Structure 1
Amino acid sequence: MIGKIIIGKSFKGCISYCLSPKQGQAERAEVIHYNNCYGDKNELIRQFEELREHNPKLGKPVIHVILSLAPGDKVRPGLKEAIAQECAENLGFADCQYLAISHNDTQHQHIHIIGNRVRYNGKTVSDSNNYRQIVRFCRKMEQKYNLTKVLNPRRYLSSVNQLIPREDQRKNILKRAISRALQEAKDLNSFLSLMKSSGYTVDKGRGIAFIDAQKVRTKGSEIGYSLQNIQETIERLNNRQIISPRQYRGIRI
């Protein structure tokens, strides 16, 4: 599980983004939990804005948490709700206004939690150390619910653990996808199409990078697949499959 926290200004923008359908995806969003709020999009925006007025000096009252499960992980709706509630408790806004929304517009399951940092007494929910807290929370959920384990960002490790080489499953999955695509590709364009069908967006310029379904960007050079290396591999593998006329004359059938 990967967690992302955004501290923002606009409840209208955040709630509208999370609840409004996209073209061709009318059922992309489902509210799985209301806490001290209710109603449709417009009613929710009004309620959040009204409570915001209890602390008008707070410039960024929105806490927006995105919890993305690893590809292949599936949890039932009731468990999504439980995870959202535990997240609100962990980040200190369980007694505030918040709602949890499940999105099904990508290949991996993910949950949006929109919370009001303004408490009913006008005090503010602290955003101190939120990023460390969400990392610890994700590791806790992985263990508790037997989800795919994701590496902590290196900057959140102790100085000793930062020196230990780590097995990065995300990069291993990407390398396997690249290897499969190289075996099938006839040229660079077909390689790019094969990577797209594997769920990756390819950013190609002077170099090449791959963006997975969770929007994590990995440079090809970081995993031994620079653009030059990919092009040379495609050419080598395809040349290996071609038999020249001279070679053909020497083959006995």
Structure 2
Amino acid sequence: MVAVIKTAAGVTNAIHYNENKLKQGTALLIHSSNFAKTTEHLGFTDKLRTLEKLMALNERTKLNGVHISLNFDPSEKILVPQLQKIADSYMQQIGFGNQPYLVYQHHDAGHPHIHIVTTNIQWDGTRIKMQNIGRNQSEKARLQIERDFGLVKAQSKQKQAEMIKPVNVQKVQYGKSDTRRAITSVLDAVLPVYKYASLPELNAVLKLYNIKADRGAEHSRLFDNRGLLYRVLTNKGEYAGIPIKASQIYNKPTLDYLEHRFVENQQSKQGHQVRVKNAIDLYFKTNRTHSMDDLMQTLQKGGIHIILRQNESGMIYGITYVDHHTKCVFNGSDLGKAYSAKQVQERCDPFAHLHSEDAPQLKHANEKINPNATAIQGEIKEQAVAISLKEITNALLTIEQELGLAAELKSEEARRKKKKLRHS
């Protein structure tokens, strides 16, 4: 079993998220605890108001919403009564046994899992401390529950990562499905799982699914009002169809929500840079010839996507790495100078600085690999070498001419001295 605990400002988004799954038929409300009504008689207002009433007792605590997922091995077939007992046991062991909480069973992934929504504000207005709760109370509860219920153990980090993979969503194809529903499916899979610390980093992941989060141009009304749109992209990266406002999406992935995630993710992705750096270094050490296309293909086989940022003329000015194993997103500068866009290009092509105007040849590097790319780069290198040899030849001729002139001057000076000595 793997437990994932998330905190947020309020419970509205978490409840909307799970209730939307109910509407879609991919989830069931299987249990509740410490509510005035039984589970089957709870309406949406009952769920929300009970939790909000508690949160109102402590206005100083900003992160008062708690959203937990308990994930089980794909091989396990756990019946609802057992899931109810597991949820109660877990909540009791982490100190939330007296809190009102809702338990939803989800059916939208390759492994069994439940979601629990609650608050850390207690009936007396005090808060349950969340610091290190995942590493301490939750980890102890996980081990105990695995023993008590005979569950498959998830000791290794690799095993835990496999068990909490997001649903295998497909690229959004404009016109083939409802735009809002398609965007929501991707956001549900990406936002809670990947560790992105800025909008460009998030967009590096979303681009893989033909989606972009857009704040609009700086100083525009959308930008100044802190609005956010989600747009569908074509395979060429162009906008398609009408954008959807973040506020119109069920789980409300607004700028405020994302900025809160940015802060959390900045800390949680620390220490995961090494895997990406090692993969890049290994490529350059074990391959005689290098190219950006080949580097991208090689890393992708290891679960790392390279996203190139290019201007309108195709010039590469930035690089982002998306590691699907650790779910971390890094800008090249996060990893160090050697992994920046400029340095990686030069490591792939030592002559890159001599023909930067030819960078448009890499314009479609994020799409299907151009079979002629290697030949094109070879021609560019030959041209660059020819230019370099010409410059060297000219320089040598200039030096030779200067040396010849210097020798003539030296001979002339010697003749003058010799003549002067004879006359004296």
Alignment of 1:74-89 (within 5 A): 74-89=77-92
Unaligned stretches of 5+ in structure 1?
154-167, 174-202, 220-253
Corresponding residue for 1:36? Answer: 35
So what's the TM-score if we normalise by structure 2? 0.37
- Give how far 1:125 is off: 1.0
- Give how far 1:218 is off: 2.5
- Give how far 1:33 is off: 2.5
RMSD (Å), alpha carbons: 3.0
Change beyond 3 A, Cα 1:170–1:117: closer
CA distance in 1, matches of 2:162, 2:85: 31
**Conserved 8 A contact 1:135-1:152:** no
Alignment of 1:70-109 (within 5 A): 70-109=73-112
**Matched residue SS, 2:325:** strand
Alignment pair present for 1:112 and 2:115: yes
CA distance in 2, matches of 1:170, 1:3: 9
**Conserved 8 A contact 1:20-1:29:** no
CA distance in 2, matches of 1:171, 1:93: 25
Letter of the 2:155 partner, please give it.
Answer: L
Q: Give the aligned length.
A: 172
Change beyond 3 A, Cα 1:71–1:50: same
CA distance in 2, matches of 1:34, 1:116: 12
**What is the CA deviation profile of residues 27-80 of structure 1, one whole-angstrom value per residue up to 9, with x for unaligned ones?**
423232232354222321122112211111110111111100011112111110
CA distance in 1, matches of 2:161, 2:83: 27
Letter of the 1:218 partner, please give it.
Answer: H
CA distance in 2, matches of 1:114, 1:79: 18
**Conserved 8 A contact 1:37-1:44:** no
Q: Following TM superposition, where does structure 1 have runs of at least 4 consecutive aligned residues deviating by more than 6 angstroms?
A: 170-173
**What is the CA deviation profile of residues 78-103 of structure 1, one whole-angstrom value per residue up to 9, with x for unaligned ones?**
11011111111111111112111111
**Matched residue SS, 2:48:** helix
Instruction: Pick which of 58-67 and 32-41 moved more.
Output: 32-41
Corresponding residue for 2:5? Answer: 5
Letter of the 1:28 partner, please give it.
Answer: A
**What is the CA deviation profile of residues 143-182 of structure 1, one whole-angstrom value per residue up to 9, with x for unaligned ones?**
22221111254xxxxxxxxxxxxxx657999xxxxxxxxx
Corresponding residue for 1:62? Answer: 65
Change beyond 3 A, Cα 1:172–1:107: closer
CA distance in 1, matches of 2:97, 2:296: 45
**Conserved 8 A contact 1:37-1:98:** no
- Give how far 1:205 is off: 4.6
Letter of the 1:147 partner, please give it.
Answer: L
Alignment pair present for 1:140 and 2:144: yes
- Give how far 1:4 is off: 0.4
Task: Give the one of 145, 155, 158 matched to 1:151.
Answer: 155
**Matched residue SS, 2:21:** coil
- Give how far 1:110 is off: 0.5
Alignment of 1:183-194 (within 5 A): none
Corresponding residue for 1:53? Answer: 56
Query: Larger relative CO (CA 8 A, sep 6+): 1 or 2?
Result: 1
**Conserved 8 A contact 1:102-1:112:** yes
Corresponding residue for 2:213? Answer: none
So what's the TM-score if we normalise by structure 1? 0.60
CA distance in 2, matches of 1:116, 1:218: 31
**What is the CA deviation profile of residues 93-146 of structure 1, one whole-angstrom value per residue up to 9, with x for unaligned ones?**
111121111111222111111111111110111113211122222222222222
Instruction: Pick which of 113-122 and 135-144 moved more.
Output: 135-144
Task: Give the one of 111, 120, 125 matched to 1:122.
Answer: 125
CA distance in 2, matches of 1:135, 1:21: 28
**Which structure has the larger Rg over C-alpha atoms?**
2
Q: Which has the higher helix share?
A: 2
Identity of aligned residues (%): 20
Unaligned stretches of 5+ in structure 2?
164-207, 209-294, 305-322, 327-424
Instruction: Pick which of 37-46 and 72-81 moved more.
Output: 37-46
CA distance in 2, matches of 1:14, 1:69: 21
**Conserved 8 A contact 2:74-2:111:** yes
